[in-house]
Chain A
Amino acid sequence: MGSRLIDLGLQPGTPPESWNITQPEKIKQIHFEYFGAGSDIVLTNTFGGSRLKLEAHGHGDKVKEYNTRAVEIAKEICPLNGYIAGDIGPSGKFLPPVGSITEQELLENFIEQTTILAEAYVDLFFIETMVDLKEAEIAVKAAKRVSNIPIFASITYKKTKRGFFTIMGNSIEQCSKVLKEAGADAIGANCTISSEEMIDLIPLIVNSTDLPIIAKPNAGQPQLVEGKTIYLSKPAEFTRDIQQMIKNGATIVGGCCGSNPKFINEISNQIKREKK
């Protein structure tokens, strides 16, 4: 979503969620492109739609409006066999010692956003790009408290010399255990690492849980060339990596930063071919 919004002219400093009000046609067009490309689930344009995140942009009074409208836009274009996931990203604030937010403030932040998304009838919650397991756990618990719909929770890992960890030092085993106990129905990884790196990560997650596994890597690393951001990965290579992740046990697959409907289309076609 984010990469496409930038393609369509989203300016620096503008929260993407504001487009749910000012440019709803563009948001609808992006959802349309993804369903057309073969997506089973599309994520609402609400990644940064929690109060703490919107307040940082000075849009704290728009939480309800942005989140409700985001779901409505997606519903207007959703096919009968499609699903709408309420997208929930990090608050942008950190617990001590890195930052000074409290667990209670995070809980309230996510209860508010998940309540609005649930009241607008999303089919599931997609909590993603979490770099702190504690924040992810709080978000999952908030979602669990407000609704019985499925909760997908996805962590952003970094590859270190000692293996995959979040920047806070949470291991794969810790993440899998804590997220399951908090009430997640599917867990996995997204963002930061490329499809090639994520191939090695998936079997490690498989070994740590019995929940369905999400794999949503970046399409390569972003490079800025002549003032434009490009991701050095092609749909065919990306799809080959995703195929390997499916073989390794991933059941919910997609693309994060740098991917676009072409990537999803290629993956979708490949999966259909293999099913035949």
Chain B
Amino acid sequence: MSFAENCKEAILNGNIELAEKLANQAIEENIDINIAIDAFSLAIRKAGDLFEEGDFFLPELMRSAEAMKGAMTVFEPKIMEDKVDRSLGKVIIGTIEGDIHDIGKTLVAALMSAEGFEVFDLGADVPVGKFIDKAEEVGAKIICISALLTTTMVGQKKLIDQLKERNIRDKFKVLIGGAPVSKKWVEEIGADGSAENAVSAVKLARKLLEE
């Protein structure tokens, strides 16, 4: 099997040890780090596709994301050393104040890191102001704000309103998530988008930055 096929097997089987072993092997054999990481990225995207198709469920997807994380941790010192700029951009993510649901948000964060975004996960029950302050502080390109309750969804609107008040709405792309979020709600509050699931969310984030 080729290196890429091995990577695919490690990620799709959620085999953390194998993923780490392959990453170490790539470094030892002086394989171009970009090529090596791309092999893993391709595999995690495949895991995402399987999730979207209903062939993978939450446990399989989480295991794949964990294996990806394992490989990336091995690559990290090398990335720093070579000053390879692989970051797609900085992303702030969190669940809105008053809402403690964080599984969807955590999943999106895991897949975004796997894809190459630099993710700042603020956790759950996060005040609107904190999203904005952190985004300003690190120079984020995207803010992802999750609300699982119809009662806390209004916080998503509050975030956009505050960005407008502070005249910085154009500095960030705002993605909103959570089961009750609809297209209509995205339009109503003037967000930049929402996605059906974690996999589409990552695709959407990439697309927005390409625009």
| A interface residues with partner B (beta carbon < 8 Å) | 6, 10-13, 56-57, 92, 94, 97-99, 160-162, 165-169, 192, 221-227, 229
Contact = CB atoms under 8 A, between A and B. Distances in A.
A97 B63 contact: yes
A224 B54 contact: no
Nearest to B125: A13
Contacts of A165: 54, 57
A169 B98 contact: no
Contact of B57 (A13, A168, A222, A226): A168
Given A6-B151, A97-B14, A97-B62, A92 B100 contact: yes
B180 A12 contact: no
B59 A98 contact: yes
A-side interface mostly: loop
B184 A12 contact: no
A98 B103 contact: yes
Contacts of B55: 162
A192 B179 CA distance: 9
Interface string B14-46: 100000000000000000000000000000000
B105 to A, nearest CB: 13
B100 A12 contact: no
Contacts, number: 74
A192 B148 CA distance: 12
B57 A223 contact: no
Interface string B127-153: 000000000000000000000011111
Given A97-B14, A97-B66, A229-B180, A161 B54 contact: yes
A17 to B, nearest CB: 14
Given A160-B54, A222-B180, 18 more contacts: A6-B150, A6-B151, A10-B151, A11-B151, A12-B98, A13-B99, A97-B62, A97-B63, A98-B58, A98-B103, A99-B103, A165-B57, A168-B59, A223-B182, A225-B188, A226-B188, A227-B157, A229-B151
B59 A97 contact: yes
The 3 closest A-B pairs by CB, nearest first: A169-B57, A160-B54, A12-B98
B53 interface: yes
Query: Size class of B's contact patch?
Result: 20 to 34
A167 B57 CA distance: 6
A173 to B, nearest CB: 15
A13 B149 CA distance: 10
Contacts of A98: 58-59, 62, 103
Choose among B55, B66, B99, B103 the residue with the greatest number of A CB atoms under 10 Å from its CB. B103
A76 to B, nearest CB: 28
A12 B95 CA distance: 13
A225 B125 CA distance: 23
A94 B103 contact: yes
16 contacts: A12-B98, A12-B152, A13-B99, A56-B100, A97-B62, A98-B103, A165-B54, A165-B57, A168-B58, A222-B150, A222-B179, A222-B180, A223-B180, A224-B185, A224-B188, A229-B150
B184 A225 contact: yes
B60 interface: yes
Contacts of A12: 97-99, 149, 151-152, 155
A13 B151 CA distance: 9
B97 A167 contact: no
B154 interface: yes
